[in-house]
């Protein structure tokens, strides 16, 4: 009887990212993994330490070579991250070696299941999208699912409910600039950029300095003071730019500046160059602004005090983390805004931890 330490999982064919992902996860949990393929793959070989060569599944000596490797390496489980091989191995192992467990779904079935889960996720959110659209034409189910899928590929903290509300409010936003203060790696920026294009609102301007000094949350508990130290801010900057590469390039510019300096540049009214060097013109009037920068009360208060002076009648403020476990800066600023400017506010609601505020026309 093999001990857990002796038993191994065979990844075959170990030729793609799914194989590398499984290898990394298995190693982190102490699982012994053997990798094999019928073709060379230097990346997998380097990650695994060795890539065993096996014949193609249709070769006459495949069975002999496969079982010899399985016995020599104490294989008890087999993962097949390629659909054609998975289909073959399902029948092959059941007929020849039922003691070897084929683990994991077929890559084809994984895609089908992922698509169905995505559509169900979008379907669940559609009532919220339509409610926030307030009777104006909202995104279709397919469009909403597409936005969710692409946004999920980008690291970020905006959850589904917040994204759904964003999808809805753009249906009744005026024309003007779309601005984001604090972008991290671009999840919400991608959504803003798509929605601004989809509803013909205006160009997107993102502002984020990506520096440790600007990110430090001084009002947060002491235990959280150094959380931001983990980031490599050059990776943040480059990652943001890479994540927005597939999007439109002629209607987005970024200012790697603190919020105050970014506002001064915006207020000058001059075109700002896109990441691809094209000049992007802004109207100077903001249709939708997403404030998600430093959450210290003074920083949020300054962001709102500067940028909301340009918010158009009928425009929207999205104040992120109005409900936040690590401080009350956004909530204090939001509450003051709701109290002091009540007569100028058409509607306000909280969704996905963010405060959404629409000005009267």
* Cα separation, 10 vs 102, whole angstroms: 10
Residues near 278 by Cβ (< 8 Å), separated by ≥ 6? 249, 250
Specify the 3-state DSSP secondary structure of 253. Answer: strand
Mean pLDDT of 49-65: 96
Task: State the pLDDT confidence band at 250, using cuts at 50, 70 and 90.
Answer: confident
Supply the pLDDT for residue 5.
63
* Same-domain pairing of 180 and 260: yes
Cα 273 to chain centroid, rounded: 25
Supply the pLDDT for residue 213.
83
* Cα separation, 79 vs 192, whole angstroms: 40
* Cα separation, 260 vs 272, whole angstroms: 16
- The number of domains in the chain is 2
* Same-domain pairing of 222 and 278: yes
* Cα separation, 113 vs 119, whole angstroms: 10
Predicted confidence (pLDDT) per residue in 65-98, tens digit: 999 999 999 999 999 999 999 999 999 999 999 9
| Runs of H (alpha helix) within 76-186 | 83-96, 107-133, 141-152, 160-169
* Same-domain pairing of 47 and 131: no
The pTM (predicted TM-score) of the whole model is 0.92
- Whether residue 314 has pLDDT greater than 90: yes
* Same-domain pairing of 150 and 97: no
pLDDT greater at residue 96 or residue 5: 96
Q: Domain containing 148: what range?
A: 111-359
* Cα separation, 226 vs 166, whole angstroms: 31
Q: Beta partners for 331? A: none
* Same-domain pairing of 76 and 135: no
Supply the pLDDT for residue 344.
97
* Same-domain pairing of 323 and 204: yes
* DSSP E strand boundaries for 148-293: 177-181, 204-207, 252-255, 272-273, 279-280, 286-291
User: Considering the domain boundaries, does residue 2 fall inside one?
Assistant: no
User: Considering the domain boundaries, does residue 302 fall inside one?
Assistant: yes
Q: Beta partners for 103? A: 79
Q: What is the CATH number of the domain that holds 95?
A: 3.40.50.20
User: Considering the domain boundaries, does residue 1 fall inside one?
Assistant: no
- Whether residue 240 has pLDDT greater than 80: yes
Q: What are phi and psi of 130, to 5 degrees?
A: -70, -35
* Same-domain pairing of 301 and 249: yes
Q: Percent of the chain having pLDDT more than 70?
A: 97
* Same-domain pairing of 311 and 227: yes
Supply the pLDDT for residue 2.
60
Q: What is the CATH number of the domain that holds 334?
A: 3.40.50.150
* Cα separation, 329 vs 169, whole angstroms: 24
User: Considering the domain boundaries, does residue 23 fall inside one?
Assistant: yes
Supply the pLDDT for residue 29.
94
**What region, left, alpha or beta, does residue 155 occupy, with left being phi > 0 and alpha being psi -120 to 50 degrees?**
beta
Specify the 3-state DSSP secondary structure of 313. Answer: strand
């Amino acid at each position: 009887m093999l001990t857990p330490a002796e038993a191994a999982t065979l990844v075959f064919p170990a030729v793609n990212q799914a194989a590398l992902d499984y290898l990394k996860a298995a190693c982190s949990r102490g699982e012994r993994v053997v990798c094999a393929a019928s073709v060379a793959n230097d990346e997998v070989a380097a990650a695994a330490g060795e890539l065993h060569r096996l014949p193609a599944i249709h070769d006459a000596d495949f069975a002999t070579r496969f079982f010899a490797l399985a016995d020599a390496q104490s294989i008890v489980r087999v993962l097949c991250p390629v659909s054609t091989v998975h289909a073959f191995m399902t029948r092959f192992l059941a007929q020849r070696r039922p003691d070897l467990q084929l683990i994991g779904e077929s890559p084809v079935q994984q895609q089908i299941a992922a698509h169905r889960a995505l559509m169900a996720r979008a379907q669940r959110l559609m009532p919220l999208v339509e409610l926030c659209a307030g009777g104006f034409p909202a995104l279709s189910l397919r469009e909403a699912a597409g936005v969710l899928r692409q946004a999920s590929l980008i690291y970020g903290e905006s959850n589904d409910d917040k994204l759904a509300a964003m999808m809805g409010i753009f249906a009744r936003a005026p024309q003007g600039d779309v601005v984001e203060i604090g972008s991290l790696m671009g999840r919400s920026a991608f959504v803003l950029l798509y929605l601004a294009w989809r509803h013909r609102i205006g160009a997107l301007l993102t502002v984020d300095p990506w520096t440790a000094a600007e990110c430090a949350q001084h009002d947060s508990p002491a235990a959280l003071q150094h959380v931001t130290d983990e980031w490599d801010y050059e990776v943040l900057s480059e990652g943001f730019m890479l994540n927005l590469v597939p999007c439109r390039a002629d209607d987005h510019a970024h200012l790697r500046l603190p919020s105050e300096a970014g506002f001064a540049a915006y207020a000058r009214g001059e075109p700002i160059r896109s990441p691809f060097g094209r000049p992007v013109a802004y109207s100077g009037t903001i249709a939708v602004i997403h404030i998600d920068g430093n959450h210290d009360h003074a920083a949020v208060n300054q962001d709102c005090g500067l940028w909301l002076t340009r918010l158009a009648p009928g425009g929207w403020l999205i104040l992120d983390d109005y409900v936040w476990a690590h401080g009350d800066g956004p909530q204090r600023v939001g509450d003051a805004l709701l109290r002091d400017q009540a007569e100028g506010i058409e509607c306000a609601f909280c969704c996905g931890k963010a405060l959404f505020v629409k000005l009267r026309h």
